[in-house]
Amino acid sequence: MTPSGDKKLQDRAPYHLSGGLHVTGRSRFIGEDNRPAELLFAKVVLSPYAHAQILNINTTPAAEIPGVVAVLTHLDIPGENQIGLVPQDEPLLPVDQVQYVGQPVAVVVATTPRIAEQAVSKIEVEYEELDPVLTISEALDKDQLYIPERRIKRGDVEQGLQNSEYCMEGKFATGAQEHFYLETQCCIAVPGEDHQITLYSATQSISEVQIAAARILGIQCKDVTVDVPRLGGAFGGKERTATLWACLTALACHQTEKSVELRLTRTEDMLSTGKRHPFEAVYKVGFNQNGKIQAYSVELNSNGGAYTDLSIAILERAMLHAENSYYIPNISITGRACRTNLPPNTAMRGFGAPQSIFVIEQVIERIARKLNIDPLDVRLQNIYKTGELTPYGQPIEEASGGELLERLRQNSQYLELRKSTDEFNQCHQFVKRGIGVVPVKFGISFTSAFLNQGSALIWIYEDGTISLSHGGIEMGQEVNTKVAQVVSSELGVSLARIRQESANTKRVGNASPTAASSGSDINGNAARNAALQLKKRLAEIAQQMLAARYNLKVKEPRIIFAEDRIFDTAAPDRKLNFEEVVKQTYMERVPLGAHGFYKTPGLHFDREKGVGNPFHYFVFGCALTQVEVDLLTGQSDLLKVYIVHETGRSLNPEIDRGQITGGFIQGMGWVCMEEIIADEKGRYLATGPSTYKIPTIRDLPTIFEIEMVEVDREGSSVFRSKAIGEPPFMYAEAVYFAIKDAIEALTEHEKEVELHMPATPEAVVMAAKNHIHLDSTGTT
């Protein structure tokens, strides 16, 4: 396997499609275009309680304020008071109970934001507070599950445990994480004629917003247009959550017959919206003296919050990644999604996989500690090989995890790094260094098979320029650049000819969410399908023009599109301009528009039996990190990062490198900085950047080396590329294990250190304190 590139595409990947607009401040986000005349502003009354009965809502004091146009409650909803999809369990506005702090109870619409805020403070809501359920253990005790527990099982775990030379058991918990997108939840609704409405919504799922808004307003999908130019970040936090705020805006617009804007403040956003799901896991593992796992049983319990949202799908993906990169012959995976009185937790980068991968990686570290074996060797001992089956029966084709780990060993000069780390630790009492390694196997596809479809629409105009629409949402990951590159490559034209349109339900209907790392795969293939249709039509006209102009007659013509020219390989010096072929095609009354469609092949999964092929292919990679930890203050510094990531034939190497870098840094925030704490009343205490720490440029390592391994794979997607968005997030789990390794330098090899996740300075001090003993002189 040698690093190389696809020349055809890399020649057409010179820049980031929106880069010039971003760096000059000219890129437009929702609400930054020309604003509608007589725009009204909506503000929301938020519940102060995690669980309470609504006894009365008095809106009169707010309605009497000059400038207030409307005050809306559930009684003003003309359609069905329901925004949940599967199952339908989430009202737009509550009727008799609130289920979480920050839940919208009423909406004020006014002529200015300040008047709307004033009116919100005047609404009188009488509550009877009820006892909330906030934790996983409370929910399990009360049997508050969205659905019955799910299972995936292979082999005989009990027998495997009995036959193992060593057994251990344990618990591990992972925390929540705030999405912290720069653009908060927002929507502008504009009324049209005949009950039509257009929603400019900060959503990753234009079709879901369309369906939910139509249901709320009592109209049909044809009457609702959803348009998204681009998002100022999302990370999964606008896949389902945005639907609530878009529908509230739609309701306000419908009732006032005026354009309305709703935009949350940072505090409102962080208080009211769901996070990454906290998980608690209980496991048992059996293994032999070489570290080979013989049996593994794990229970994965998630805190889903007040409504189902995407909790079931997230639990499912967590279960499907519970073994990560390792073949385990006897395995049992149990999953439970718990209903609590927190804001509905939702999609976030990795979608459940980071939580379950963390557990098995903790198991690997404990095995290595127990046996006094290098953790990298334990990982290689268990790594998947080609042809082995996952716990759900899907074959691992073209497994490269072991090879990538060996490349990582070489790139990092692992033996020398391990030796120098140990020597450093022997010479320093209160500052220790540690190393962490994590491989990743990540499945690509929505686990709900019907979502694995997409459409695209291409128009070639008479002057040879191109309009491109697809169902993907641009949110900084540059799906628009990649899809445009696909069209550019198929039609042999420069990117400058292509205008990437906003995502719009009128141009591309029934679009799946831009999620599951599949945006470029699904929409790129759909756009390619449309481009190939147009290419075939243009090639027929070009063949006629070449024959007429140059008297070129070829028995088996091979028409080539390249560098804005069209020619036959039989006479490569006789070329036609792209635009002149387009013009002639138009004159011949041959259509210059095409709708493309793509559905991911070969997907099936039986949820009752826990078997099938839920993924189109897998992405493989691995990371090594080195940290330095001050055990007295708990401060940890990231010194070195080495990543090896298999990209397939990257559509755009620089964009992919950016995704790897960004995913890793965001993951690092989750594992060692970002902590979500709710008080005993279910209110989040961190509601802004002053109380919630995310990584900054100061947290970058001194050495950050990324090797992108480009190789042809049968298991890949458009132009043999692989998805990139989510897998790098899990690499950052190596930072946590490096911190743990540094603390464990204080102990004998079989003694374990319990380190809370995230590994904040407080957590590090708590983990180290029992292993640091000072005498009267202040030395250990």
Contacting residues for 774 by C-beta, under 8 A, at least 6 apart: 780
Q: What are the tens digits of pLDDT across the range 350-372? A: 999 999 999 999 999 999 999 99
In a 10 Å sphere around its CB, with 0-12 CB exposed, 13-18 middle and 19+ buried, how is residue 167 labelled? Answer: middle
Residue 586 sits at φ, ψ, to 5 deg, of -65, -45
Reduce the DSSP state of residue 396 to 3 states and report it: coil
pLDDT computed for residue 715 by the predictor: 86
Contacts within 8 Å (CB) and 24+ apart, 59-64:
59/106, 59/123, 61/122, 61/123, 61/124, 62/108, 62/119, 62/120, 62/122, 62/123, 63/119
Q: Is the pLDDT of residue 779 over 70?
A: no
pLDDT computed for residue 772 by the predictor: 79
Reduce the DSSP state of residue 369 to 3 states and report it: helix
Handedness of CA 576, 578, 580, 585 (dihedral sign): positive
pLDDT computed for residue 552 by the predictor: 83
- Strand 575-577's sheet: what is its strand order? 559-562, 565-568, 575-577
* CB half-sphere exposure, 546, CA atoms < 13 A: 27
**Do 55 and 128 touch, CB atoms closer than 8 A?**
yes
Q: Work out the number of other CB atoms within 10 angstroms of the CB of residue 11.
A: 13
DSSP per position, 263-311: E--HHHHHHHS--SPPEEEEEEEEE-TT--EEEEEEEEEEEEESS-TTH
Mean pLDDT of 573-583: 97
pLDDT computed for residue 497 by the predictor: 96
Structure tokens at 620: 């493989």
pLDDT computed for residue 493 by the predictor: 97
Structure tokens at 334: 């149990």
Residues with catalytic function: 726
Which run of H or E residues covers position 595? strand 593-599
Handedness of CA 524, 528, 534, 539 (dihedral sign): positive
User: Taking Cα atoms as reference points, which of 284, 379, 268, 387 lies closest to residue 334?
Assistant: 284
Residue 435 binned pLDDT confidence (cut-offs 50, 70, 90): very high
Mean pLDDT of 582-588: 98
Q: Is the pLDDT of residue 448 over 90?
A: yes
pLDDT computed for residue 2 by the predictor: 34
Torsion angle of C-alpha atoms 508, 512, 514, 516, degrees rounded to 10 = -150
Q: Is the pLDDT of residue 554 over 80?
A: no
Structure tokens at 328: 């385990």
Domains of the chain as residue ranges with CATH: 1-30+398-447+616-780 (3.30.365.10), 39-131+179-272 (3.30.365.10), 133-173+280-382 (3.30.365.10), 453-599 (3.30.365.10)
- Which has the minimum average pLDDT: 126-140, 325-339, 378-392, 705-719? 705-719
Q: Is the pLDDT of residue 7 over 80?
A: no
pLDDT computed for residue 6 by the predictor: 42
pLDDT computed for residue 556 by the predictor: 75
Reduce the DSSP state of residue 498 to 3 states and report it: strand
Which run of H or E residues covers position 216? helix 206-217
Reduce the DSSP state of residue 431 to 3 states and report it: strand
Q: What are the tens digits of pLDDT across the range 60-93? A: 999 999 999 999 999 999 999 999 988 999 999 9
Query: Which whole-number Å values give the CA distances from 556 to 534, 543, 588, in the listed order?
Result: 20, 11, 23
- The CA distance from 452 to 245, in Å, is 26
Contacting residues for 56 by C-beta, under 8 A, at least 6 apart: 124, 125, 126
Which run of H or E residues covers position 757? none
Mean pLDDT of 677-701: 96
Query: Which whole-number Å values give the CA distances from 588 to 147, 488, 515, 537, 557, in the listed order?
Result: 59, 24, 41, 11, 20
pLDDT computed for residue 535 by the predictor: 98
Angle (CA) 715 717 721, round 5°: 95
Residue 56 sits at φ, ψ, to 5 deg, of -165, 145
Query: Which whole-number Å values give the CA distances from 41 to 168, 258, 703, in the listed order?
Result: 58, 10, 48
Query: Helix, strand, coil shares of the chain as percentages rounded to 5?
Result: 35, 25, 40
Q: What are the tens digits of pLDDT across the range 618-672? A: 999 999 999 999 999 999 999 999 999 999 999 999 999 999 999 999 999 999 9
- The CA distance from 649 to 632, in Å, is 47
Looking up tokens 């301009």 gives: 577
Average pLDDT in the chain: 95
Pairing verdict, β 498-500 and 466-470: parallel
> How many residues are given for the chain?
780
Mean pLDDT of 443-469: 97
Residue 459 sits at φ, ψ, to 5 deg, of -120, 130
- Which has the minimum average pLDDT: 445-454, 585-594, 651-660, 744-753? 744-753
- The CA distance from 618 to 441, in Å, is 6
**Do 772 and 430 touch, CB atoms closer than 8 A?**
yes
pLDDT computed for residue 357 by the predictor: 98
pLDDT computed for residue 776 by the predictor: 46
pLDDT computed for residue 16 by the predictor: 80
Q: What percent of the chain has pLDDT above 70?
A: 97
pLDDT computed for residue 17 by the predictor: 86
634 in the Ramachandran plot: left (φ > 0), alpha (ψ -120 to 50) or beta? Answer: left
- The CA distance from 578 to 565, in Å, is 5
Contacting residues for 67 by C-beta, under 8 A, at least 6 apart: 110, 111, 112, 115
Reduce the DSSP state of residue 694 to 3 states and report it: coil
Residue 433 sits at φ, ψ, to 5 deg, of -115, 155
DSSP per position, 75-135: GG-SS-S----SS----SS-SSEE-STT-EEEEEEESSHHHHHHHHHH-EEEEEE-----S
Looking up tokens 């839940």 gives: 103
Q: Is the pLDDT of residue 400 over 90?
A: yes
Pairing verdict, β 279-287 and 166-174: antiparallel
pLDDT computed for residue 240 by the predictor: 96
Q: Indicate the DSSP class of residue 184.
A: P
Q: Is the pLDDT of residue 748 over 90?
A: no
Q: What are the tens digits of pLDDT across the range 280-303? A: 999 999 999 999 999 999 999 999
Structure tokens at 498: 């292509």
